[in-house]
């Protein structure tokens, strides 16, 4: 049933926009089969923004079928790379046109600052789509030399099929772009589940998908909660590939249910997971301290600490420690926490009451285990605001040292030498990212090589580029997103092996050689190989 439940979203700055709140299947907004919907909250004040349709397992079936039909009939092997590139570029252009609205939806729904959404989330999302549009007409295989006289072998990089993409709430638009860019460029179709906290910007993108001219069913969205909608999608027999970003606990669950459903295989890139982190950030005593403090602040507090790669464990070499923590706290106190629509705000609210409670619980643990240097409190009376919080003298076995907090909470400890800090930095179940601050380039490379992390930033932090792969070692994930590497996650390799042993009959008629000749391969005239190849596509041999 078509759902024309269009709501007007009013922004605090006086602007407004309309969005359709239905599930998005086959280029149409529809109601859920049960008619159920759920509330979406504004984290700045905890009030309801609107309701959106909630997908049941049956709705997920419907969306997967739409994606399957599109894959087999109008996308997949039916649309060439030039056309896929054109459509992705068109979508990027439309997102640029709607950039201000998308940024306001992110700020309202997620609580990130409007300034940051405009400066990072929206332009990086657009850049990501353009980057993958550039790849769409360059997806091709190789020829492999086996025996030029008798065999021609080539590979094809084919789309995998229907991809389930489950995204989190910390970068709603950007995670959508990271996922759909490589999937669509390589010819896959998508059923995406947005995070229950932040569905709004994706709904706006659905409108643009239609305007861009993507065939129905290529991109579909089901909204809902993890244990119901998410579980139905990740265990669906009609899904060929899963890409997930979120917690390590849910990632582990998805890995299990995906392999138990239709044997999706990690080695064939059919499951990619981008999970949690507890990333070390190491400041050596020869670093440019002012720069190290600036970037380390951004390393932990960017996006209110709600970054999987957040530099949440800072290690500072002993001789510069007093100066570092003094300056670090001073800067923390100057970064304003408040209304995300206010232009000077650096940090808005945390995403939800649940996340707020989880973070405050960690802060209480920290107050018992370590020394609270700065912050540690709720900010304001309403919404989910938390002060930037710094702990020092933190025992290695404290929960705030080991667990991902996903909030504006950092631990800062000292270290003596390189070997010691590398050992402590690697002493975690995670391996997503790491930072190194030093002026000694030899040391920078040496330490980068020994750190167990998928990304190492040297003399900066949280600096992303769409052509640079991102993903985790250890329990931080499987596979890589972004860059050329992500294309491999969305393609299956097919080897096409042609027996060129053919014989020329009198009158230039082609026929299959008899078995003996085939095996002996003696009658083959090598000069004819290109002619044979040319004819191969139209001859039955």
Ligand X SMILES: NC(=O)C1=CN([C@@H]2O[C@H](COP(=O)(O)OP(=O)(O)OC[C@H]3O[C@@H](n4cnc5c(N)ncnc54)[C@H](O)[C@@H]3O)[C@@H](O)[C@H]2O)C=CC1
Among 404, 430, 486, 524, binds ligand X (CB under 6 A): 404
Q: Cβ 456 to ligand BAL, closest distance in Å?
A: 14
Cα-trace Rg, the chain: 27
* Cβ neighbours for 139, distance < 8 A, ≥ 6 positions apart: 81, 157, 185, 186, 187, 487, 491
8 Å CB contact between 473 and 452: yes
* Cβ neighbours for 219, distance < 8 A, ≥ 6 positions apart: 24, 180, 184, 189, 190, 192, 206, 209
8 Å CB contact between 186 and 215: no
404 binds, among ligand X, ligand BAL, none (CB under 5 to 8 A by kind): ligand X
For residue 354, count CB atoms less than 10 angstroms from its CB and return exposed for 0-12, middle for 13-18, buried for 19 or more.
Answer: exposed
Q: Does 230 bind ligand X (CB under 6 A)?
A: yes
8 Å CB contact between 434 and 280: yes
Among 106, 274, 339, 481, binds ligand X (CB under 6 A): 274
Pick from 118, 43, 117, 41: nearest CA to 349: 43
Q: Cβ 324 to ligand X, closest distance in Å?
A: 26
Q: State the Cα angle at 196 between 120 and 186, rounded to 5°.
A: 60
DSSP character string of 193-226: E--TT--HHHHHHHHHHHHHTPPTTSEEEE---I
Footprint on residues 269-298 left by ligand BAL (CB under 6 A): 274
Binding track over 237-276 against ligand BAL, x by CB under 6 A = --------x----------------------------x--
Q: Does 231 bind ligand X (CB under 6 A)?
A: yes
* Nearest residue to ligand BAL, scored by beta-carbon proximity: 307
Beta strands in 91-180 (DSSP E): 143-144, 151-159, 162-166
438 binds, among ligand BAL, ligand X, none (CB under 5 to 8 A by kind): none
Q: Does 410 bind ligand BAL (CB under 6 A)?
A: no
Count the residues of the shown chain that bind ligand X, applying the rule CB under 6 A: 27
Strand-pair partners of 222: 193
- Closest CB to ligand BAL among residues 132, 214: 132
Footprint on residues 133-172 left by ligand BAL (CB under 6 A): 170-171
- Closest CB to ligand BAL among residues 247, 259: 247
276 binds, among ligand BAL, ligand X, none (CB under 5 to 8 A by kind): ligand X
Candidates 155-163, 164-172, 178-186, 480-488: pick the segment binding ligand X (CB under 6 A).
164-172
Among 114, 242, 308, 410, binds ligand BAL (CB under 6 A): 308
250 binds, among ligand BAL, ligand X, none (CB under 5 to 8 A by kind): ligand X
Q: Does 245 bind ligand X (CB under 6 A)?
A: yes
Q: Cβ 178 to ligand BAL, closest distance in Å?
A: 7
Among 53, 309, 410, 532, binds ligand BAL (CB under 6 A): 309
Catalytic residue among 54, 158, 196, 274: 274
Q: Does 304 bind ligand X (CB under 6 A)?
A: no
CA 115 to chain centre: 22
Residue 418 annotated as catalytic: no
- Closest CB to ligand BAL among residues 238, 477: 477
Q: Whole-angstrom Cα distance, residue 488 to residue 479?
A: 9
The 10 Å Cβ neighbour count of residue 262 is 14
Beta strands in 453-504 (DSSP E): 455-458, 477-478, 491-499, 502-504
Footprint on residues 187-216 left by ligand X (CB under 6 A): 193, 195-196
Strand order in the sheet with 455-458: 371-374, 389-392, 409-415, 313-317, 280-283, 433-437, 455-458
Q: Whole-angstrom Cα distance, residue 384 to residue 363?
A: 14
Candidates 155-163, 250-258, 325-333, 517-525: pick the segment binding ligand X (CB under 6 A).
250-258
* Residue whose tokens read 């606990």: 249
Among 112, 124, 204, 253, binds ligand X (CB under 6 A): 253
SS3 call for 115 = helix
Q: Does 434 bind ligand BAL (CB under 6 A)?
A: no
309 binds, among ligand BAL, ligand X, none (CB under 5 to 8 A by kind): ligand BAL
8 Å CB contact between 182 and 336: no
Binding track over 333-362 against ligand X, x by CB under 6 A = -------------------------x----
Q: Cβ 120 to ligand BAL, closest distance in Å?
A: 11
Q: Does 106 bind ligand X (CB under 6 A)?
A: no
DSSP character string of 25-76: ETTEEE--TT--EEEEEETTTTEEEEEEE---HHHHHHHHHHHHHHHHHTSG
Q: Cβ 234 to ligand X, closest distance in Å?
A: 5
Find the distance separating the first CA and the last CA of the chain, reported in whole Å: 50
The binding site for ligand X (CB under 6 A) comprises: 166-170, 193, 195-196, 225-227, 230-231, 234, 245-247, 250, 253-254, 274-276, 308, 358, 404, 406
Active-site residue set: 274
The binding site for ligand BAL (CB under 6 A) comprises: 170-171, 245, 274, 307-309
């Amino acid at each position: 049933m078509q759902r024309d439940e269009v709501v007007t979203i009013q922004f605090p700055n006086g602007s407004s926009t309309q969005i359709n709140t239905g599930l998005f299947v086959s280029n149409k907004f529809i109601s859920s089969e049960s008619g159920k919907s759920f509330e979406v909250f504004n984290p700045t004040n905890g009030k309801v923004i609107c309701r959106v349709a909630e997908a049941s397992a049956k709705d997920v079936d419907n969306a997967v079928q739409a994606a399957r039909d599109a894959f087999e009939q109008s996308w997949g092997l039916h649309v060439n790379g030039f056309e896929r590139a054109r459509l992705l570029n068109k979508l990027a252009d439309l997102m640029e046109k709607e950039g201000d609205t998308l940024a306001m939806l992110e700020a309202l729904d997620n609580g990130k600052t409007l300034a940051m959404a405009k400066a990072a989330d929206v332009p990086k999302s657009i850049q990501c789509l353009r980057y993958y549009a550039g790849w769409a007409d360059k997806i091709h295989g190789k020829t492999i030399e086996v025996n030029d006289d008798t065999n021609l072998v080539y590979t094809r990089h084919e789309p995998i099929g229907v991809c389930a993409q489950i995204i989190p709430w910390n970068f709603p638009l950007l995670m959508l772009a990271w996922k759909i860019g490589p999937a669509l460029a390589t010819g896959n179709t998508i059923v995406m589940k947005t995070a229950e906290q932040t569905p709004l910007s994706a709904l706006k993108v659905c409108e643009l998908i239609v305007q861009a001219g993507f065939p129905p069913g290529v991109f579909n969205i089901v909204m809902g909660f993890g244990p119901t909608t998410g579980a139905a999608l990740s265990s669906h027999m009609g899904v060929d590939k899963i890409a997930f970003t979120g917690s390590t606990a849910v990632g582990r669950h998805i890995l299990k249910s995906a392999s138990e459903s239709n044997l999706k295989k990690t080695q064939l890139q059919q499951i990619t997971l981008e999970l949690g982190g507890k990333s070390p950030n190491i400041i050596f005593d020869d670093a440019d301290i002012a720069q190290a403090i600036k970037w380390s602040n951004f390393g932990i507090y960017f996006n209110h600490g709600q970054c999987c790669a957040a530099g949440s464990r800072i290690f500072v070499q002993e001789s510069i420690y007093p100066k570092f923590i003094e300056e670090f706290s001073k800067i923390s106190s100057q970064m304003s926490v408040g209304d995300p629509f206010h232009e000077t705000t650096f940090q808005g609210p945390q995403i939800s009451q649940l996340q707020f409670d989880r973070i405050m619980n960690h802060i209480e643990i920290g107050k018992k285990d370590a020394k609270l240097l700065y912050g540690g409190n709720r900010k304001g009376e309403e919404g989910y605001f938390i002060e930037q919080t710094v702990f020092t003298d933190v025992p290695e076995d404290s929960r705030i040292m080991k667990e991902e907090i996903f909030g504006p909470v950092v631990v800062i400890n000292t270290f003596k030498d390189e070997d010691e800090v590398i050992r402590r930095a690697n002493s975690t179940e995670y391996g997503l990212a790491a930072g190194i601050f030093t002026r000694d380039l030899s040391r920078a490379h040496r330490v980068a090589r020994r750190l167990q992390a998928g990304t190492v930033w040297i003399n900066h932090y949280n600096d992303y580029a769409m052509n640079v792969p991102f993903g985790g070692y250890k329990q931080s994930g499987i596979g890589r997103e972004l860059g050329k590497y992500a294309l491999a996650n969305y393609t299956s390799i097919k080897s096409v092996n042609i027996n060129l042993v053919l014989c020329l009959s009198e009158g230039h008629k082609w026929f299959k050689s008899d078995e003996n000749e085939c095996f002996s391969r003696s009658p083959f005239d090598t000069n004819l190989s290109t002619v044979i190849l040319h004819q191969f596509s139209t001859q039955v041999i």
